[in-house]
A and B are shown apart, each in its own frame.
Chain A
Amino acid sequence: MLMSYGKVDESVIERLRKIVGDENVLVAPHHRFLRAASAAPFPLHKWHVHAPDVVVLPGSTEEVAEVVKLANEKKIPIVPRAGGTGLADGAVPLKGGIVVDIKRMNRILEIDEENMCVTVEAGINNQTLNMELRRLGYWWPFDPASFPVSIIGGNIGTNAWSLIPGVSGHIRDLVRSMVVVLPTGKVIRVGEGGGKKISKSSIGYQLKYLFIGHQGTLGIVTEATLEMFPLPEVEFPAFFGYRSFMDAWRNAGKMAKSGLRTMATHIIFDEEKIEALRRDDEAYIPLPAHIKSVIATAFYGTEAEVKGAAKRIMEIAAKDGGVYLGPELSEGDWASRHDRYHISFHGRHLDGQVGTYSWHCEDAAVNYSALPYVVKRWHELVKEWKRKYDIFDDMGGFYYNNNAFKQWGDYLSEIDVFIDEYHLTEETWQAWLELKRRIAEVVLEVGGSISAAHGGTRPGDVELVVSKELDPGVYEIMKMIKKMLDPNNIMNPGKYLLDTAYE
């Protein structure tokens, strides 16, 4: 039997005001509609379906816990919201309710220079944290594409991904412990064993990872103790040009096995990506016409280490005809890596005119050996949809090293699809979801995973995630855990289709 939810009426609003203060309870439509969407393509024609009933901005763990307790008592859905830059709709309400926006909780609580960790409230932004640590000579080495704006709580909630995993891993590798408000309002600290600042313990179950990547379905993280790194002496980006994607792919295989420990990443730009950059990217530095594909590499470490690595990577690149593209392009492009992933005026219609395009970024995890097949199939699919509907555009693909502290294994595989979201109708929205499913099916066909970075909670992904990607026994365990921790199904209900646990 599906649960029925309680209403957000005046008495609930009044109690929320008592908990977080009048100015931190927002009921006017423009506040609520603002928090209906995150950063993935959004069905604007169904905006109202996703608007929450009320938004609260709590200022402490205690306030979050009180709000959650109230919601649990009244059986009102809760949707946690941090930066709102997630690409799996984690922060998009599916059943109205209360959006708990944690961005007011943005203080640094402790910088422990002896044990090299920093404790923060979960509403702090990555760049802000890094700016503060840099003043002291340290580095917050988590580097999602949304680095200037995404927020720790959301990064943890989505098991977010870093562009430089080779030297510092992903968010799951950077959290020592955290405070989580459970769906009943109970507050726990979960980490390695019982330690707040311990990096590895064999005590108890490994529950820390349960609270990383649950997309807000199991609670709200309010505080985290995170790794900090010494500021690297040097940063060295090096870009190489190739005559074809296949040359670049072959060379990436050699780079992956180079054993260079200062290598943060290597990223393949496919032929469609280079075309799209040539056509539309204002910051693009022109390359000779015979360069059809690129590999970007980046190194962090001591000067001595990186000098040696730089020499070696040049030698490896040359083996498949890779040409070093010089410091201006390498440093400029690497420095602006966070700044231009979506410009509305880059997507184009069939007649070549720009439109009001929004951006979708596929983020499957695909093994090295399967890349050429996936790349070929994906571009065929997107081009077919572009021809059919003329509201999609193929902006090419990136294939990023996906591996923490190493370069081999699999790639975060991103095809960038631009979508004229402003002109979506229900028909074209359904066409988009169909394309999304077809893209995901290719990934499952080769034994990959649908999302390396964002999560599998979006329509178009989620049906395949629960019916095809996850082992049925595993999904069964997810449902059992969900029902056990959240007896009233109030935490971000509907995500991962976990409603079925309550049937």
Chain B
Amino acid sequence: MPTAHTYKPWYKTPWKDDWIPDEVAVIDCYTTFACRHKFCREVCPVYQVTGNESYTSYGFHTALLAVKRGYERLSNLGDTFTYCLQCGACQLRCPDTLFAGDFYRVPKTTNLLVTKTRSEIIRLGFKFKGSDDILKAINKVVEDFETGRMPLVDWAKDLDIPREGEVILFYDYFMATQMTNVLRLWAKILKTAGVKFGIIENPRPTLLYELDYLGEKGVKLVKENIDALQKAGAKTVVVADPHVYVSLTQDYPRFIGSDLPFDTVFITDFVWKLIKEGRLTPKKSVNKKVTYHDPCMLNKVSGIWESPRNILKSIPGLQFIDEDHVTQWYYCCGHGASEVGSFKIMHEDISYQIGLRRLRRVVELGVDTLVVACPHCNQQFNEVKLKAKIDIEIRDISEILAESLDIK
């Protein structure tokens, strides 16, 4: 299945200082500028906090249209293009995407447009707010990986997981170093269901939307991951991190120009199927009042919102106050798509304000626990909660499920 990204050829052309978008690009830019709806604005978490429409999908597209018409220069756009979480709300809410996108091949791809613009600005040697720090953070991850300093499989030491299998549980450095408890629980849940699965020894950092900044080095990481997964015999890759999931399903095909040689499934989809098939039965009562936060990478970018809700609804004793996934298009934890937290590096306070708005919503629902399904949301909400002194428990969905399955 071709992704939207593979048929927008203009994303592949390198830009120049005096670059002028070609006609294909201009159709995207013009139709967003000219759109009479502007739904991309209100749904944008950054706009909700800043009130500045320059930082919306039509703001970005119009800026490029102004370059095309000779009113603006590319080197002037850097800072404006930092005001984006790449959460995907705008491109999803766009009527062109919703109604005409598939047929005329014109869905909005703002997440990628932001990546493209930032990476071209970096490549041309212009700076923008935080660009040095972002590059430093990304290069450090890659360096740590290359020098073998990352404990990528230590979390699994005592779990006896093979390094091969038709089903591979996949993640990258982030969960392996910062969210090992969640990885361990998912692994134990899969084992409880009798799933035969493996992991790979050296998962490369997937660095969603930001591999582009690394040039050839980024492409190399993509190919190595795919090779390693193939060598391990993967037919189904079960991904535990929403950001890694979007990397595999949307970024990787863009880099290699074709579909991946295996199926990619997000862990909650995979586990919900196990529950439906009766291979897992949550039995123990979990006496909590919870709501669920849709991670942007699942809900807005991948259309995955049912399985986490289904899992929560299958747990006895759990009081689940749901906010529907469309309302949650408006929300974000404030972290953004970047695995190294680029948005936070560039706009720490806006990131905090966005997270705070979301947590306040949670508190209004009168729940004691916020369930998350993404390690970045988990980390971000814990930070916001501490800073704002909000009394709420943040739990990963694997923890709730494991408790009901009596897995420790």
Work out how many contacts link A and B, with CB atoms closer than 8 A.
Answer: 127
* Contact call A57/B52, Cβ cutoff below 8 A: yes
Q: Which residues of A contact B67 (CB under 8 A)?
A: 30
Q: Which residues of B contact A362 (CB under 8 A)?
A: none
- Choose, from A31-39, A198-206, A401-409, A468-476, the stretch at the interface: A31-39
* Contact call A344/B31, Cβ cutoff below 8 A: yes
Known contacts A340-B95, A345-B106; A358 and B53 CB within 8 A of each other: no
* Contact call B38/A29, Cβ cutoff below 8 A: no
Q: Complex formed: what's the CA distance from A109 to B362 in Å?
A: 21
Whole-angstrom distance between the Cβ of B46 and the nearest chain A Cβ: 13
A165 at the interface (CB under 8 A from B): no
* Contact call B63/A30, Cβ cutoff below 8 A: yes
Chain A residue at minimal CB-CB distance from B47: A103
* Contact call A340/B99, Cβ cutoff below 8 A: yes
Q: Complex formed: what's the CA distance from A345 to B33 in Å?
A: 14
Chain A residue at minimal CB-CB distance from B60: A30
A:338-363 near B, CB below 8 Å:
339-346, 354, 356, 358-359
* Contact call A343/B54, Cβ cutoff below 8 A: no
Chain A residue at minimal CB-CB distance from B31: A344
Known contacts A30-B76, A30-B80, A125-B42; A282 and B71 CB within 8 A of each other: no
* A interface secondary structure, majority: loop
* Contact call A345/B100, Cβ cutoff below 8 A: yes
B34 at the interface (CB under 8 A from A): yes
Chain A residue at minimal CB-CB distance from B61: A34
B50 at the interface (CB under 8 A from A): yes
Known contacts A85-B36, A149-B38; A30 and B96 CB within 8 A of each other: no
B231 at the interface (CB under 8 A from A): no
A128 at the interface (CB under 8 A from B): yes
* Contact call B72/A34, Cβ cutoff below 8 A: no
Q: Complex formed: what's the CA distance from A272 to B31 in Å?
A: 24
* Contact call A123/B51, Cβ cutoff below 8 A: yes
A:116-134 near B, CB below 8 Å:
123, 125, 127-128, 131
Q: Which residues of B contact A148 (CB under 8 A)?
A: 37, 39, 42
Known contacts A30-B54, A104-B51; A342 and B37 CB within 8 A of each other: yes
* Contact call B42/A149, Cβ cutoff below 8 A: yes
Q: Complex formed: what's the CA distance from A41 to B36 in Å?
A: 10
Whole-angstrom distance between the Cβ of B364 and the nearest chain A Cβ: 8
A83 at the interface (CB under 8 A from B): yes
Q: Complex formed: what's the CA distance from A359 to B31 in Å?
A: 11
* Contact call A28/B34, Cβ cutoff below 8 A: no
Among A84, A128, A131, A359, point to the contact of B38 (Cβ < 8 A): A84
Whole-angstrom distance between the Cβ of A473 and the nearest chain B Cβ: 36
Q: Which residues of A contact B98 (CB under 8 A)?
A: 339-340
Known contacts A29-B76, A358-B34; A282 and B53 CB within 8 A of each other: no
Whole-angstrom distance between the Cβ of A22 and the nearest chain B Cβ: 13
Q: Count of chain B residues with Cβ under 8 Å from any Cβ of A?
A: 40
* Contact call A28/B51, Cβ cutoff below 8 A: no
Chain B residue at minimal CB-CB distance from A126: B42
A47 at the interface (CB under 8 A from B): yes
Whole-angstrom distance between the Cβ of A379 and the nearest chain B Cβ: 22
Q: Complex formed: what's the CA distance from A29 to B33 in Å?
A: 15
Among A106, A146, A343, point to the contact of B99 (Cβ < 8 A): A343
Q: Complex formed: what's the CA distance from A133 to B191 in Å?
A: 47
Q: Which residues of B contact A135 (CB under 8 A)?
A: 364
A478 at the interface (CB under 8 A from B): no
A287 at the interface (CB under 8 A from B): no
Q: Which residues of B contact A373 (CB under 8 A)?
A: none
Among A128, A146, A343, A358, point to the contact of B100 (Cβ < 8 A): A343
Whole-angstrom distance between the Cβ of B117 and the nearest chain A Cβ: 12
A26 at the interface (CB under 8 A from B): yes
Known contacts A123-B51, A345-B100, A345-B106; A149 and B39 CB within 8 A of each other: yes
Chain A residue at minimal CB-CB distance from B40: A149
* Contact call A345/B96, Cβ cutoff below 8 A: yes
B:325-340 near A, CB below 8 Å:
327
Q: Which residues of A contact B31 (CB under 8 A)?
A: 344-345, 356
Q: Complex formed: what's the CA distance from A345 to B98 in Å?
A: 12
Known contacts A42-B34, A358-B34; A339 and B95 CB within 8 A of each other: yes
Chain B residue at minimal CB-CB distance from A33: B66
Q: Complex formed: what's the CA distance from A340 to B39 in Å?
A: 11
Q: Which residues of A contact B71 (CB under 8 A)?
A: 29-30, 33, 47-48, 51
Q: Which residues of B contact A51 (CB under 8 A)?
A: 71
B:62-76 near A, CB below 8 Å:
62-63, 66-67, 69, 71-72, 76
A283 at the interface (CB under 8 A from B): yes
15 more CB-based (< 8 A) A-B contacts, given A37-B33, A85-B36, A87-B36? A29-B71, A30-B54, A30-B77, A34-B58, A44-B69, A83-B38, A131-B327, A146-B37, A148-B42, A282-B99, A340-B99, A343-B99, A344-B34, A345-B106, A346-B100
For this complex, 11 residue pairs linking A to B, each with C-beta atoms less than 8 Å apart, are A30-B66, A30-B76, A42-B34, A103-B52, A105-B51, A282-B103, A341-B36, A345-B106, A354-B104, A356-B31, A422-B30
Could you tell me which A residues sit within 8 Å of B by CB distance?
26, 28-31, 33-35, 37, 39, 42, 44, 47-48, 51, 57, 83-85, 87, 101, 103-106, 123, 125, 127-128, 131, 135, 146, 148-149, 281-283, 339-346, 354, 356, 358-359, 421-422
Q: Which 6 A-B pairs have the closest CB atoms?
A: A104-B51, A30-B63, A342-B36, A344-B31, A29-B72, A103-B51
